[in-house]
Amino acid sequence: MQTSTDKIINDESQYIVHTYNRPPFMLVSGEGVMLYDSEGNAYTDWVSGIAVNALGYGDEELTQAVGQAMATGMVHVSNLYHTAPHVELAEMLCEKSFADKVFYCNSGAEAVEGALKFARRVAYNKGLTSKTDIVSFSGAFHGRTMGALAVTPREQYQVPFKPMMPGAVIAEYNNLESAKAVINANTAAVIVEPVQGEGGIHIATSEFLQGLRDLCDKHDVLLIFDEIQCGLGRTGKLWAHQWSEVTPDIMTLAKPLGGGLPMGAIMVTNTVGEHIQPGDHGSTFAAGPVVSSAANVVVKRVSQPEFLAHVCDMGDYLTECLSEINSPLIKEIRGKGLMAGIELTIEAAKLVSAGYDHGLILVNAGPNVLRFVPPLIITKKHVDELIGHLTQMLADAEVTANE
């Protein structure tokens, strides 16, 4: 007899476009940093919905805020009207950052698309109609929509959808000379991740980011920081670029912002915002009362000094413990805060699959990097459990590799 889980999995293959390969179990609930499947199996979550669930699962304050917002009956009223939660959120985001104004959307890719449009709009308003190029970097991931995809230099993502948006120029990450060679009078914007997520957990040096800032100032170019994955406390500071003390003109946010509900944001200075007029951009669903109420809780919590200190402490402990694993399959360990990765000599997918049998939800970052982006409420106990399982998994993988 077919179980409910079997039916869901079979029905999915029939009715849902196959853009994801999922493991053969069905998640039904979560609490803290734990997820549970329909068979009662428990998993410690080291993915957090790909750096989304910063506060874990079942957070009382977040649940209460969403419930109170739902109780008003105004799940959606559109951006044609005034509501309080999105204004309160914008004020808080601006007070805690370089930004003067915020535009809301529903995802990271949308935030990038809007940021690219804003950059071209600024150049257009200045009468610089040839200033349309967008510079991004090797290893970048900015999204899969057409504009974002053009600045995401991945053959496997781009080739079936060419031609790409014109004007996308690629330089080498952390190589200032490479950037100097392509940033010029035709450049509208430079977009860069202070810490690359999908690209394999690579950290931009302070010298690189400062050099980009100087180049952008020299050529009247807007500097965009993509903090969709590395922002909002993930690295141990509220914004990842704070480690370098370099500020952008535009910053894109998403993933953890809505507390698990879909929300993105483009944060800009007045110098950028003054060029954007009604009709230039929009979003039907962005920053409705429910998701904005959730985001208010997230931003308040993750910006607290004691919360950020916890992320730093757990990040240091995680990196230290990962470094103590003695396995020839590990090439390098990289990370900042609770955004870490192990570069392996084998495919990371093998450890992701093995993790399910060990009660671990894991994810890769490219073919050979195992990525750790857990809920920011993780504790030493969870790290210790991870290290025990991971040590055994690597030993098993080593035996298999040598057979």
Average pLDDT over residues 59-85: 96
| Count of domains forming the chain | 2
In angstroms, the CA 18 to CA 41 distance is 25
- End residue of a domain, out of 283, 302, 321: 302
- Per-residue pLDDT averaged across 76-95, rounded? 96
Same structural domain for residues 265 and 366?
no
Give me the CATH number covering residue 310.
Answer: 3.90.1150.10
- Is residue 67 included in any domain, yes or no? no
* In a shared domain, residues 146 and 291: yes
Q: What is the DSSP letter of 255?
A: G
Could you tell me if 128 and 211 lie in one domain?
A: yes
Which pTM was predicted?
0.97
* Domain extent for 354: 4-59+305-402
Query: Residue 402: its pLDDT value, please?
Result: 78
* Short-list 31, 28, 35, 34, CA closest to 4: 28
343 SS3 class? strand
CA distances from 281 to 79, 80, 147 (A): 12, 13, 14
Query: E strand or H helix at 169, and its extent?
Result: strand 168-171
Residue 287 within a domain? yes
Instruction: State which H helix or E strand residue 8 sits in.
Output: helix 4-15
pLDDT of residue 2: 53
pLDDT bracket for residue 24 (50, 70, 90): very high
Q: Kindly list the distances between the CA atom of residue 145 and the CA atoms of 114, 149, 213, in Å, as whole numbers in the listed order.
A: 11, 6, 27
Question: Quick check: is 66 in a domain?
Answer: no
Q: Virtual CA dihedral for 380, 382, 385, 386, nearest 10 degrees?
A: -110
Q: 343-385: per-residue pLDDT in tens?
A: 999 999 999 999 999 999 999 999 999 999 999 999 999 999 9
> Number of helices and strands (H, E) in the chain?
14, 17
pLDDT for 1 equals 41
